[in-house]
Structure 1
Amino acid sequence: MEQKRKQAGKRAGLLGMALLAFGMAPVPGPTAGTAPAPCTPDPGPPEYYRIDLVSTKRLPGTRAARGAGYVTFAKSPFGIAVTPEGHYVYDLRVAVERLPPSTQGVYVAWVATPALDVVERLGPLDANGTAKGRVHFNKFLVFITLEPSAEPAARWTGPVVLRGLSKSGFMHTMAGHGPFQQEPCTNYGFN
């Protein structure tokens, strides 16, 4: 019995030395009477909630255009806003740069489901190249079109200038692809 106790003590000692060697020493807790450091919120949405917008290169002068959609959870007195169906509601701010002014119309921001069965207009880009709106889709596309006017419309009629896909939209199965085929996402600007 005594020998088993000595072996257990040796193993515990070896384990303690191994933990110390790998920098896993116990961390002392806060001392009595000291307050924990205050928590500072992130200044912007995390990278996961950023949607890169890339040029479709369909209009002259828009090859260098780019932008981003910044997704945050919509405010609610109950924490996170949801639709009656239980879908999250997001605030989306679109910011575009290097997009030349157009004499042919106005740039308008849109969101749609990946199948394009539901399309919603966010609104025209302002003088700073931004637009804001709400989104309630899990997976969605964000795109900018050149429309003949800023008048509200149910669907776009002009060419798509910039487009991007929410990070959740990247998650899909390869069920529709052959075993050795890959979807060339990089051909469309998605990394």
Structure 2
Amino acid sequence: MVKVLVADNHPIVRIGLETTLNESNEVEVIASVSTTSELFSILSIKQPDIILLEMDIPEVNGITALRKLKKDFPNSNVLIFSAQAEDVYALSTLRAGASGYVSKTASIDTLLSAIKKVAGGGMFITNELAQRLAFDESTNKPRKLFRKLSTREVEVLKLLSLGKRNKQVAEELGLNEKTVSTYKARLMRKLNVDNMVDMLQQAKALELY
């Protein structure tokens, strides 16, 4: 039996996942949480085989929470379960230590397959995503530009896109303001823009907000 911990901010999603996954003969939801503080608190007590982590869980953004999980609990298997654009965020979360990425639009069979694959030591991404990562569509310039960005740059861009100031971004990511300014300069260069308005337009094209 694969033991799963669900970390998602939405009560209906948590209840739905618990009910559906527990109906399987192979999966058991042993706990569910709605914030990162609850997540790290319960991990000191329970040891799930899989952590099903929502990208936009409150308090700490998903990639930062993922990094902390892999640092504090290096043997944890994290499966990202998110409504965010798969081909934008999947690669960043895999780089940060996730064992897989499943869209919230996926079927329950796909989710169960992902859970079992990760529990068995594998990594899960959809065939569609694998194809998109392998072959850049020549007409999809925003996606191609995105692939030049590091995981940390994606984090900074997302927070800036949400209207956060340099100081707020620095506090959330554990950086100093000067470093955030450096990331902004890198983002503008990599996204071929010379001002914040155009950079945020690129972020919108990448479906970061």
Pairwise TM-score range, normalised by the shorter structure: under 0.3
Structure with bigger RCO (C-alpha 8 Å, 6+ apart): 1
Structure with greater proportional strand content: 1
Q: TM-score, normalised by structure 1?
A: 0.27
Structure with greater proportional helix content: 2
Q: TM-score, normalised by structure 2?
A: 0.25
Larger radius of gyration: 1
